[in-house]
Amino acid sequence: MTKAQTENKPILVSIGYATCHWCHVMERESFENQAIATYMNTHFVCIKIDREERQDLDSIYMEAVQAMNMQGGWPLNVFLLPNTQPFYGGTYYPAEHWLHLLHQIVKTFEEAVVGVRQKRTVTRRQIESKPPAAKTKKSPIVWRFRSTSTAFGIFISEDACWLGNQSGQVFKLSHEGEVLAQYQLPDGVKCIVGDSDWIYVGCDDGNVYDLTGKIPRLAYKINESVDIYWLDIHNGLLGISDGGGNITVIDYEDEEQWSNKGKGTSAWMVRCDESVRVFYGDSSGVACYYGYDGRELWYHKTAPILFGWQEKEKIYVATSLSKIHSFTKDGNPLQTYLADAAIYSCATSEEGKYIFAGDNCSSLYCFDETGKRLWKLASGCGSACSMQYFKDKVYVVTTDGSLACIDASEIAIQQAEEGIVPVSKDIKAPTQAVTVTETTLLETATDTSTGVIVQCIKEGEKLRVKVISAGYEKWYVQFPNNLRVEGQYYLVDAIKEAAQGGFYRVHGNIYKHTI
């Protein structure tokens, strides 16, 4: 491992055992081939492991490969970054395919890591979206908005429907699918989070943007060593799960509070709740931590987790083995819901009365609380990467870049199962693109009759922001770090007290102010 980090080379771990037929075939065809072996030793740090001696490592890397939705088996060949994070894997390859794969891995690694682009490690979920079974009936889609690339970001509120895709586009839509606003962020969107009155967008560039004003503002900047898989925010507390199987928590001042290593890798789930608990899922299972200090409160082993959802009293985890498991937030197992393929997203109606899921075969499911499957229908727009239920509708963002509004009412589903579906409204994204807005752009306030005045001050070695306007406590204000200039005054649309008290949060637009 030291050699890999020193020489900045990817690691190749190959796991086999003495009686494995294909292990010996691959050894003879590739590992004993002088040209291939030379290429491997030149460009990789190669490690060979006997499965029978190190079953613990075999289990870890098998789970990692399955969590990436790739084929596991023996020989098990896994490629790791120098920091030991798995990023690709598979089993037996014929010699010519193996050499081609090695070339592709080296090319990708050199571009992304060695210095051609000098960009943070970015892992995007690879969903192999297959078509649904031939006889699967179609979902009752009310409207469908088409963006330009695979979409993972979704948030539905009373006011709007939000979509974010891997091209960095963010659209704010009405509940009829009409475009209300459009943003272009610097990198692909991983997820969209609603935290009370705030809308946050987590991106591949490691930044979390606040979209409550007309200009996206930098709310959190995540350390470059973190390969972000998912994030969630509650009352200003940010939880991040990553490719290495770590869970990290950052406070409202964008300062890291703690970081723990989970029991697996490929952590696609993190959820934060009002009781300051952080729920985390990776290739090994699901765990709960206390948000203030990182104490593990409970853990359950499951199949590799690909998505997580929470209601007020329950946690739901979707796995690669076609199951959703529910738990109380105290860690008691409740129910299991069985689909027909790997589940990449799930959501529930209020209080978990109905459980919805999307698999990698472009199908959607609904279960009742007891685990009974009520229906399975084709999405009509690819596999659901993420979803949310809202007022008798299921909203999904998909592999083909759609945000689809599906009527999940009892009568609409009954008709869909009979082959009767409404004529859906098809909406295409605006053809005129918008430019990336610089988050440090700061206009000078012209109307000072409304709003709240805050000031940036220096306390010790840190810049803090406090409210200057009358009637407020002397608390800190959650405020973009890249706008802080010592002594500068700002006018903001509104200041709101955090739900748990103790600090304020800026809501809306920020202007430079002169006194």
Do 71 and 149 belong together in one domain?
A: no
Do 200 and 105 belong together in one domain?
A: no
pLDDT at 432: 82
CA distance 459 to 450: 28
* Residue 209 burial (C-beta neighbours within 10 Å; 0-12, 13-18, 19+): buried
Question: Is residue 408 very low, low, confident or very high in pLDDT (cuts 50, 70, 90)?
Answer: very high
The average pLDDT across 483-498 equals 96
> Domain boundary residue among 393, 428, 463?
428
Decide if pLDDT at 28 tops 60: yes
CA distances to 8, 204, 304 from 64, rounded to whole Å, are: 22, 21, 8
Strands of 211-322, DSSP E: 217-221, 228-234, 237-242, 246-250, 256-261, 269-272, 277-281, 285-290, 296-301, 305-310, 314-319
- Cβ-based neighbours of 288, under 8 Å, separated by 6 or more: 277, 278, 279, 280, 296, 297, 298, 299, 315, 329, 331
Element (H, E) at 103: helix 95-109
Taking the model in full, what pTM does it have?
0.77
pLDDT at 66: 84
pLDDT at 113: 59
Strands of 28-178, DSSP E: 45-50, 76-80, 86-90, 141-146, 151-156, 161-165, 169-173
With tokens 């649904």, the residue in question is: 132
Do 244 and 108 belong together in one domain?
A: no
Question: Taking the C-alpha atoms of 493, 497, 503 and 509 in order, what is their torsion angle to the nearest 10 degrees?
Answer: -20
**8 phi-psi bin (left φ>0, alpha ψ -120 to 50, beta other):** left
433: in domain = no
Do 104 and 214 belong together in one domain?
A: no
pLDDT tens sequence across 179-190 = 999 999 999 999
For residue 328, the cross-strand partners are 314
Question: Is residue 322 very low, low, confident or very high in pLDDT (cuts 50, 70, 90)?
Answer: very high
Do 355 and 220 belong together in one domain?
A: yes
Highest mean pLDDT among 3-17, 91-105, 308-322, 418-432: 308-322
190: in domain = yes
124: in domain = no
CA distances to 147, 217, 451, 452 from 469, rounded to whole Å, are: 43, 22, 9, 6
CA distances to 17, 339, 511 from 71, rounded to whole Å, are: 18, 20, 53
pLDDT tens sequence across 362-393 = 999 999 999 999 999 999 999 999 999 999 99
CA distance 514 to 355: 53
What is the residue range of 475's domain?
452-513
Do 51 and 95 belong together in one domain?
A: yes
DSSP secondary-structure letter at 22? H
434: in domain = no
188: in domain = yes
Decide if pLDDT at 126 tops 80: no
Do 270 and 155 belong together in one domain?
A: yes
Decide if pLDDT at 488 tops 60: yes
pLDDT at 119: 56
* Mean pLDDT over each residue of the chain, to the nearest integer: 92
Query: What is the CATH classification number for the domain harbouring 101?
Result: 3.40.30.10
Do 278 and 382 belong together in one domain?
A: yes
CA distance 373 to 291: 35
pLDDT at 120: 66
119: in domain = no
Do 100 and 160 belong together in one domain?
A: no
> Domain boundary residue among 70, 99, 114?
114
CA distance 214 to 210: 10
Query: What is the CATH classification number for the domain harbouring 157?
Result: 2.130.10.10
pLDDT higher at 505 or 148:
505
pLDDT at 116: 45
pLDDT at 114: 47
Do 98 and 162 belong together in one domain?
A: no
Do 40 and 166 belong together in one domain?
A: no
Do 95 and 156 belong together in one domain?
A: no
135: in domain = no
pLDDT tens sequence across 68-124 = 777 788 999 999 988 888 888 999 988 878 988 898 888 778 766 544 444 567 777
74: in domain = yes
Decide if pLDDT at 311 tops 90: yes
Domain count for the chain: 3
Strand order from edge to edge, sheet including 277-281: 269-272, 277-281, 285-290, 296-301
